[in-house]
């Protein structure tokens, strides 16, 4: 079911672009999301008392390295009374929170109905990965969210999910709430961004979210009558399930080709400001859109095998050819058969510094944020 107010994972997008909630949505799980889901299930099972080695054996070859070398002490060594995947719903207008269940697999509306109270008009649901209290002070709640992708994590005080988790604890009556957004890498290493939220932080956050939902509801009514809402583009567009229907994307299609033709050959002469603008347009906007369009086109061409193009004498067709590659799964299985331990296999995974150009948040002038 499509959540009318989105969920905790989409809060940054909702605040930045309330209009996205107006459009139809296409929900897809890519390989990174599938891997994250697999690893979250592993951590939940392991923390629930299951045999860790057996659970590791259930993982795919791609996910297994994350688990083999996971530093459990760094993850929850200072936390007790741990619960996994606890779902909540925050009413941003009433400023209340309620628990929807544990391990409900993001089936928020279904869980709410089972409790006898469907999600309200101003409720936003969300699930954490781990929650507990500090080992040395049980009055201090700690929420941990695990990220297994390759991208940088938005800093806690700007992170919609972190702010949601902080709000959950504060609305439950705590004076402060520690939230850890943890990057879980294939080496087993953990990189935590820690933020402590206060009641004032939560009030500010809920004010922003309530205002965004108010705008989205007004836009939705106008959209139903044929008026196109104003959208705001940014990094939140990348995984937006409504981007197939976003007017900014359709307008970009019409304007992209002339811009790229003009830009070609002028890169060396651009100022830094122009270079940054060119990067945003080409990499952050046009490239994802092209990939979005090309994916279903390629699948259709694979089915048709050969498609004539508008250019005379040109066709798009399926070409099959052999390519040598190392079957990693078979190689790892062979190592195990020959007696290599999981620890020895884990040592084969090396950390290498990779130089890439990405779009990230600009460094902040002040480092006063709590960590």
pLDDT in tens, the chain (371 residues): 589 999 999 999 999 999 999 988 877 666 777 777 888 888 888 888 888 888 888 888 888 888 888 888 888 889 999 999 999 999 999 999 999 999 888 899 999 999 999 999 999 999 999 999 999 999 999 999 988 876 777 777 889 999 999 999 999 999 999 999 988 887 778 888 899 999 999 999 999 999 999 999 999 998 888 888 888 888 888 788 887 777 776 666 666 667 677 777 788 888 888 888 888 888 877 787 777 677 778 888 888 888 998 888 898 998 887 777 777 777 888 888 888 888 888 788 777 777 777 777 676 665 444 44
Same domain, 286 and 211: no
Q: Is residue 166 part of a domain?
A: yes
Of residues 208, 199, 177, 8, the one with CA closest to residue 89: 8
Same domain, 27 and 176: yes
Q: Is residue 332 part of a domain?
A: no
List, as own/partner pairs, every contact residues 302-308 make where C-beta atoms lie below 8 angstroms and the sequence separation is at least 24, other chains included.
Answer: none
Write the CA distances from 139 to 136, 142, 259, integer angstroms.
Answer: 9, 10, 57
Estimate to the nearest angstrom the gap between the alpha carbon of 201 and the chain centroid. Answer: 23
* Cβ-Cβ contacts under 8 Å for 12 (sequence gap 6 or more): 154, 158, 159, 160, 236
Q: What's the pTM?
A: 0.71
Same domain, 253 and 216: no
Task: Read off the CATH number of the domain in which 59 is found.
Answer: 3.90.320
Q: Is residue 232 part of a domain?
A: no
CB 120 within 8 A of CB 80: no
User: What's the alpha-carbon Rg for the chain, to the nearest Å?
Assistant: 23
Task: Give the number of domains in the chain.
Answer: 2
Instruction: Name the residue range of residue 299's domain.
Output: 246-317
Burial of 39 (0-12, 13-18, 19+ CB in 10 A): buried
The residue among 222, 255, 287 that closes a domain is 222
Q: What is the pLDDT of residue 74?
A: 85
Largest CA distance in the chain: 74
Q: Is residue 325 part of a domain?
A: no
């Amino acid at each position: 079911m499509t959540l009318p107010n989105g969920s905790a994972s989409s809060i940054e997008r909702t605040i930045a672009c309330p209009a996205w909630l107006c459009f139809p949505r296409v929900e897809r799980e890519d390989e990174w999301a599938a891997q994250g889901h697999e690893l979250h299930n592993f951590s939940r099972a392991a923390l629930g008392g299951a045999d860790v080695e057996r659970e590791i054996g259930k993982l795919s070859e791609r996910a297994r390295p994350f688990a083999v070398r996971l530093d459990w002490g760094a993850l929850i060594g200072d936390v007790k009374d741990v619960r996994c995947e606890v779902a909540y719903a925050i009413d941003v207008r009433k400023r209340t929170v309620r628990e929807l269940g544990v391990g409900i697999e993001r089936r928020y509306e279904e869980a709410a109905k089972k409790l006898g109270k469907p999600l309200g008009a101003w409720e936003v649901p969300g699930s954490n990965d781990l929650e507990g209290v500090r080992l040395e002070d049980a009055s201090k709640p700690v929420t941990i969210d695990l990220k297994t992708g390759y991208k940088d994590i938005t800093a806690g005080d700007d992170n919609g999910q972190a702010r949601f988790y902080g709000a959950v604890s504060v609305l439950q009556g705590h004076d402060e709430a520690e939230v850890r957004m943890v990057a879980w890498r294939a080496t087993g290493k953990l990189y935590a961004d820690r933020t402590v939220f206060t009641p004032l932080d939560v009030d500010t956050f809920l004010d922003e979210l309530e205002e965004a939902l108010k705008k989205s509801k007004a836009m939705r009514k106008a959209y139903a009558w044929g008026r196109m809402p104003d959208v705001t583009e940014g990094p939140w567009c990348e995984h937006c399930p409504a981007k197939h229907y976003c007017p900014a994307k359709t307008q970009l299609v019409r304007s992209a080709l002339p811009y790229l033709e003009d830009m070609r050959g002028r890169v060396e002469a651009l100022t830094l400001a122009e270079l940054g603008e060119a990067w945003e347009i080409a990499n952050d906007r046009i490239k994802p859109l092209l990939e979005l369009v090309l994916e279903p086109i390629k699948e259709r061409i694979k089915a048709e095998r050969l498609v004539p193009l508008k250019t005379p004498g040109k066709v798009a067709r399926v070409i099959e050819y052999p390519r040598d590659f190392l079957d990693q799964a078979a190689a790892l299985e062979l190592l195990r058969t020959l007696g290599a331990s999981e620890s020895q296999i884990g040592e084969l995974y090396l950390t290498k510094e990779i130089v890439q150009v990405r779009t990230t948040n600009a460094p902040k002038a002040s480092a006063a944020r709590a960590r």
